[in-house]
Amino acid sequence: MKRIGVFICWCGSNIAATVDIDKTIAAAKQMPGVVFADHNKYTCSELGQDMVKNAIKEHQLDRVVIGACSPRMHENTFRKTVEAAGLNPYYMEIANIREQCSWVHKDKETATGKAISLVRTAVAKAARNEALFSTEMPIERRALVIGGGIAGIQAALDIAETGFEVDLLEKEPSIGGRMAQLDKTFPTLDCSACILTPKMVDVAQHEKIRLITYSEVEKVEGYVGNFTVTIRNKARSVDMEKCTGCGDCMNKCPQKVSSEFEMGLAERRAIYTPFPQAVPNKPAIDRATCRWFTQEKCRVCEKICPTGAIDYDQVDEFITQRYGAIVVATGFDTHKLDKYGEYAYGKHPDVITSLEMERLFNASGPTGGKLLRPSNGKPPKNVAFIQCVGSRDKAKGNPYCAKICCMYTAKHAILLNEKVPGSKSFVFYIDVRTPGKDYEEFYNRAYEQHNATYIKGNVSKVFPDGDQLVVRSVDALSGALVELVVDMVVLATSVDARSDAKDLAQKLSITTNAHKFFNEAHPKLRPVETQTAGIFLAGVCQGPKDIPETVAQASAAAVKVASLLSKESLKSNPTIAEVDQKRCSGDMSCMAVCPYGAISEKIIEERRGRETVTRKIAEVNTALCQGCGACTVACRPGAINLKGFTNEQILAEVDAICL
Partner 1 sequence: MKECSEKMRKVASDALQKQEVTAVLGWRKKDFWWQSPVAFIESVDDVDQLVWDPFTVFNPVKYLLEDYDCHDKVGIFVKGCDSRGINRLIQDKRLDRDRVVVYGVPCEGKADADKIRASFASKKIKKVTIDGDSLIIDVDGKEERVAAEEYLLDKCLTCRYPNPVVSDKLIWEEVPVRKGVNEARFARIDNMEKKELEERFSYWSRQMDRCIRCFACRNTCPACNCRVCIFDQAEPRWLGKANDMGDTLNYHIIRAFHVAGRCFECGECERICPAGIPLQELNRKLIKDLDEFFGEYEAGLDPEDNPPLGTYRGEDPAGFDES
Q: Interface residues with partner 1 (CB under 8 A)?
A: 502-503, 506, 511-512, 514, 582-589, 592-595, 616, 630, 634, 636-639, 647-648, 651
C-beta of 253 vs 541, nearer to partner 1: 541
Q: How far is the CB of 511 from partner 1 (least distance, A)?
A: 7
Torsion of CA 526, 530, 532, 537, to 10 degrees: -120
Give the count of alpha carbons within 13 A of 278, CB side only: 20
Q: How far is the CB of 561 from partner 1 (least distance, A)?
A: 27
Q: How far is the CB of 510 from partner 1 (least distance, A)?
A: 12
* 119 contacts 65 by C-beta, under 8 angstroms: yes
The answer to whether the Cα torsion of 439, 277, 541, 524 is positive or negative is negative
Between the CA of residue 181 and those of 175, 184, 359, what are the distances in Å?
Answer: 11, 10, 7
Q: How many Å apart are CA 248 and CA 290, to the nearest integer?
A: 16
Q: How far is the CB of 534 from partner 1 (least distance, A)?
A: 21
3-state helix, strand, coil in the chain (%, to 5): 30, 25, 40
C-beta of 297 vs 610, nearer to partner 1: 610
* 11 contacts 96 by C-beta, under 8 angstroms: no
Q: How far is the CB of 4 from partner 1 (least distance, A)?
A: 20
C-beta of 249 vs 504, nearer to partner 1: 504
Cis peptide before 280 (omega within 30 of 0): yes
C-beta of 244 vs 499, nearer to partner 1: 499
Q: How far is the CB of 580 from partner 1 (least distance, A)?
A: 9
Between strands 190-191 and 267-269, the pairing is unpaired
C-beta of 453 vs 509, nearer to partner 1: 509
Q: How many Å apart are CA 271 and CA 312, to the nearest integer?
A: 12
Q: How far is the CB of 588 from partner 1 (least distance, A)?
A: 6
Gyration radius of the chain's alpha carbons: 31
Q: How many CB atoms lie within 10 A of CB 196?
A: 22
Q: How far is the CB of 613 from partner 1 (least distance, A)?
A: 8
Q: How many Å apart are CA 116 and CA 102, to the nearest integer?
A: 12
Q: How far is the CB of 221 from partner 1 (least distance, A)?
A: 15
C-beta of 377 vs 609, nearer to partner 1: 609
| Beta-ladder partners of 268 | 257
* 146 contacts 152 by C-beta, under 8 angstroms: yes
C-beta of 202 vs 587, nearer to partner 1: 587
Query: CB neighbours of 81 closer than 8 A, spacing ≥ 6?
Result: 49, 52, 53, 92
Q: How far is the CB of 104 from partner 1 (least distance, A)?
A: 18
C-beta of 407 vs 584, nearer to partner 1: 584
Span between the terminal Cα atoms of the chain, in Å = 20
How far from the centroid of its chain's Cα atoms is residue 437's Cα? 25
* 238 contacts 283 by C-beta, under 8 angstroms: yes
Q: How far is the CB of 649 from partner 1 (least distance, A)?
A: 9
Q: How many Å apart are CA 131 and CA 134, to the nearest integer?
A: 10
C-beta of 26 vs 592, nearer to partner 1: 592
Give the count of alpha carbons within 13 A of 335, CB side only: 28
Q: How far is the CB of 632 from partner 1 (least distance, A)?
A: 12
Q: How far is the CB of 501 from partner 1 (least distance, A)?
A: 12
- Which of the 8 DSSP states describes residue 343? G
Q: How far is the CB of 538 from partner 1 (least distance, A)?
A: 22
C-beta of 342 vs 587, nearer to partner 1: 587
C-beta of 78 vs 517, nearer to partner 1: 517
- Which of the 8 DSSP states describes residue 532? S
C-beta of 124 vs 427, nearer to partner 1: 124
Q: How many CB atoms lie within 10 A of CB 443?
A: 25
Q: How many Å apart are CA 271 and CA 248, to the nearest integer?
A: 10
* 155 contacts 551 by C-beta, under 8 angstroms: no
Q: How many Å apart are CA 103 and CA 101, to the nearest integer?
A: 6
Q: How far is the CB of 382 from partner 1 (least distance, A)?
A: 41
C-beta of 319 vs 593, nearer to partner 1: 593
Angle between helices 150-161 and 547-565 (to 10 degrees): 30
C-beta of 536 vs 596, nearer to partner 1: 596
Q: Report the candidate in 186, 628, 652 with the shortest Cα–Cα distance to residue 413.
A: 186
Environment class of residue 371 by beta-carbon count within 10 Å: exposed (0-12), middle (13-18) or buried (19+)? buried
3-state secondary structure of 438: coil
Q: How many Å apart are CA 425 and CA 447, to the nearest integer?
A: 9
C-beta of 471 vs 599, nearer to partner 1: 599
- Which of the 8 DSSP states describes residue 602? E
